[in-house]
C-alpha cells in the first residue's frame, strides 16, 4: 500500500461524456502527478501539481484538465470522452525523489 488513494476504481461511461477522477496523496506530500496508461501508448505523464499550482505538463490533451485543492487532493477532469481515452489513470505523489503511485482508475469509454 503506497498511501496514495484513487477513486473510483472503475468507471464506465459513454463517448462525449465528462468524468472526474480523484486522487488523495500520501500524508505530507505536496506534489501530485497524473499518468495515463493505455495498451498502445504505455505510461504517459500528463501533468504535475505542487501545493496547488501547476508545475509541469506532459502529453495532456486540451479536453483534459486537473487541479489540486488546498487539502492537497487532486482531480483529473476528462471531457468529450472518446473511445481512445479508455485507459488506466494513475496518480502519484512525492515529497522528494520517489513517486508513490496509487492503484489507478480504470476508465472504459463505450
Partner 1 sequence: DAKTTQPPSMDCAEGRAANLPCNHSTISGNEYVYWYRQIHSQGPQYIIHGLKNNETNEMASLIITEDRKSSTLILPHATLRDTAVYYCIVRVAMDSSYKLIFGSGTRLLVRP
For partner 1, what does the binding mask look like between residues 39 and 78, x meaning CB under 8 A? ---xxxx--x-x----xx-x--------------------
Which CB atom, from 23 or from 78, has the smaller least distance to partner 1?
23
Answer for the pair 106, 6: CB distance below 8 angstroms, yes or no: no
HEC string for 53-110 = EEEEECCCCCCEEEEECCCCCEEEEECCCCHHHCEEEEEEEECCCCEEECCCEEEEEC
27 by DSSP, 3-state: which?
Answer: coil
Taking the complex as a whole, the smallest distance from the CB of residue 80 to partner 1 amounts, in Å, to: 25
Q: Which of 29, 90, 107, 109 binds partner 1 (CB under 8 A)?
A: 90
Q: Give the footprint of partner 1 on this chain (CB under 8 A).
A: 2, 4, 31, 33, 35, 42-45, 48, 50, 55-56, 58, 88, 90, 92, 97-104, 106
Amino acid at each position: 500500500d503506497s498511501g496514495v488513494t484513487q477513486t473510483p476504481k472503475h468507471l464506465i461511461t459513454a463517448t462525449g461524456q465528462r468524468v472526474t477522477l480523484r486522487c488523495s496523496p500520501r500524508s505530507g506530500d505536496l506534489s501530485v502527478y497524473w499518468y495515463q496508461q493505455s495498451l498502445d501508448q504505455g505510461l504517459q505523464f500528463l501533468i504535475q501539481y505542487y501545493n496547488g499550482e501547476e508545475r509541469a505538463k506532459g502529453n495532456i490533451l486540451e479536453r483534459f484538465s486537473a487541479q489540486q485543492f488546498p487539502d492537497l487532493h487532486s482531480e483529473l477532469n476528462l471531457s468529450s470522452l472518446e473511445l481512445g481515452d479508455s485507459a488506466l489513470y494513475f496518480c502519484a505523489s512525492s515529497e522528494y525523489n520517489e513517486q508513490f503511485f496509487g492503484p489507478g482508475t480504470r476508465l472504459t469509454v463505450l
